Homo-oligomer: A and B are copies of this chain.
Amino acid sequence: MISARNFLHFSRGVALAAAVCFFAATLAVAQTDALPSWNDTAPKQAIISFVEKVTKPDSADFVPEAERIAVFDNDGTLWVEHPIYTQLAFALDRVKSLAPQHPEWKETQPFKAVLEGDMKALAASGEKGLVELIMTTHAGMTTSDFQKIVIDWLASARDPKFKRPYTELVYQPMIELLAYLRANGFKTFIVSGGGVELMRPWAEKVYGIPPEQVVGSSIKTEFRMEDDTPTLFRLPEVNFIDDKAGKPVGINQQIGRRPIAAFGNSDGDLQMLQWTTMAGGPARLGVLIHHTDAAREYAYDRDTEFGRLDKALDAAAITGWTVVDMKADWKQVFKD
């Protein structure tokens, strides 16, 4: 039984506990920098200001939590894409592992070029050669077998420059940004030109992005019952290319609503940023990561085969997209 006096103390106790909690929470918010790897330059300010605008209930730009969709390109935006896309490195390694079962590859392009390390001959095989490489190394097995191949490869493969696993070559400032957006009620999606099945096995662990929030390119799959066991078999046929004008299509197909923030780094992201930011109406955020840091990572933009940033850089100046200068705006590129 609670006496009147005890009840009074009890109430005071509860009020005090609430006050202490509130004070502690306020302090924690004030003291924590959610983006410690970002310098206090314009891009960080633009990102924080946008998030505050869309999350404050009395703001003219307020967006309900369910509609806070943020989309991120992967190659060159969340992880390294030079000297070549990681997916291409995977395909080249796969050709080498499969070569003993394919003696004919010694005399057939583009495989011969891969086995001899002749990048000039490989480039000469053009898009046709590249598609053949991808199909040979990515199709002809079930989805679960492919997933295992990807996980095994990532466990042993090392980036040629940094000598680290590819999944460690993710940008620390972007990892912080993903977490910061999620802490503010955003749902974060990958929207990548890369193969969706190459990202899903590790995106949850590394980025905190679950498989259902990964949009990407894909090959066709076929449902098959094999000895009463249902499988999905990967066919050597393109299903969808999630790049350039394909990105808004992929976003609409899988997410079904327009993002309010988009992050990219190349011309492959141009239409995704347009689709996100140019619909009129309230505040929207478009961000381009500009690779300007030859010392800590790479410096490239208009003149590269992997992640060319040319038209989108011109568009940024007109549309007011935020351009992140990797060298000036990031305190740190990778986790130590």
Residues of A at the B interface (CB closer than 8 Å) are 2, 6, 9-14, 16-17, 66, 69, 143, 187, 196-197, 200, 204, 210-214, 218, 221-223, 225, 228-230, 232, 239, 245-246, 248-249, 252-257, 271, 274-275, 278-280
Residue of B nearest to A228 (CB): B278
Taking a contact as CB atoms closer than 8 A, the residue among B6, B13, B196, B274 that contacts A225 in the complex is B274
Name 12 interchain pairs, CB-CB below 8 A, sorted by A. Answer: A6-B12, A9-B12, A10-B16, A12-B13, A14-B17, A143-B252, A187-B212, A200-B256, A210-B256, A223-B248, A230-B271, A253-B254
Query: How many copies of this chain?
Result: 2
Taking a contact as CB atoms closer than 8 A, the residue among B11, B187, B232, B256 that contacts A214 in the complex is B256
Q: Which residues of B contact A245 (CB under 8 A)?
A: 222-223
Taking a contact as CB atoms closer than 8 A, the residue among B12, B214, B257 that contacts A211 in the complex is B257
Taking a contact as CB atoms closer than 8 A, the residue among B9, B66, B252, B271 that contacts A13 in the complex is B9
Residue of B nearest to A212 (CB): B255
A77 → chain B, closest Cβ, in Å? 20
Q: Which residues of B contact A10 (CB under 8 A)?
A: 9, 12-13, 16-17
Q: Which residues of B contact A225 (CB under 8 A)?
A: 274
CA distance A210 to B187 in the complex (A): 12
Q: Which residues of B contact A187 (CB under 8 A)?
A: 212
Q: Which residues of B contact A196 (CB under 8 A)?
A: 253, 256
- Say yes or no: B221 contacts A249, CB within 8 Å: yes
CA distance A204 to B255 in the complex (A): 13
Q: Which residues of B contact A232 (CB under 8 A)?
A: 248-249, 252, 275
Most chain-B Cβ atoms within 10 A of its Cβ — which of A69, A200, A232, A255?
A232
Residue of B nearest to A256 (CB): B211
CA distance A2 to B196 in the complex (A): 58
CA distance A254 to B239 in the complex (A): 13
Residue of B nearest to A17 (CB): B14
Taking a contact as CB atoms closer than 8 A, the residue among B13, B239, B280 that contacts A14 in the complex is B13
CA distance A196 to B214 in the complex (A): 18
Taking a contact as CB atoms closer than 8 A, the residue among B212, B248, B256, B280 that contacts A256 in the complex is B212
CA distance A222 to B253 in the complex (A): 11
CA distance A227 to B134 in the complex (A): 38
In addition to A230-B275, A230-B278, 4 A-B residue pairs with Cβ atoms within 8 Å of each other are A14-B17, A212-B255, A212-B257, A229-B280
- Say yes or no: A223 contacts B249, CB within 8 Å: yes
A246 → chain B, closest Cβ, in Å? 8
CA distance A197 to B221 in the complex (A): 23
CA distance A207 to B229 in the complex (A): 32
CA distance A239 to B252 in the complex (A): 13
CA distance A245 to B218 in the complex (A): 18
* For the complex of A and B, 8 pairs with smallest distance between CB atoms: A211-B256, A13-B13, A9-B9, A10-B13, A223-B245, A230-B274, A223-B248, A212-B255
Q: Which residues of B contact A228 (CB under 8 A)?
A: 278
CA distance A13 to B2 in the complex (A): 10
- Say yes or no: A271 contacts B223, CB within 8 Å: yes
Residue of B nearest to A271 (CB): B223
Q: Which residues of B contact A214 (CB under 8 A)?
A: 256
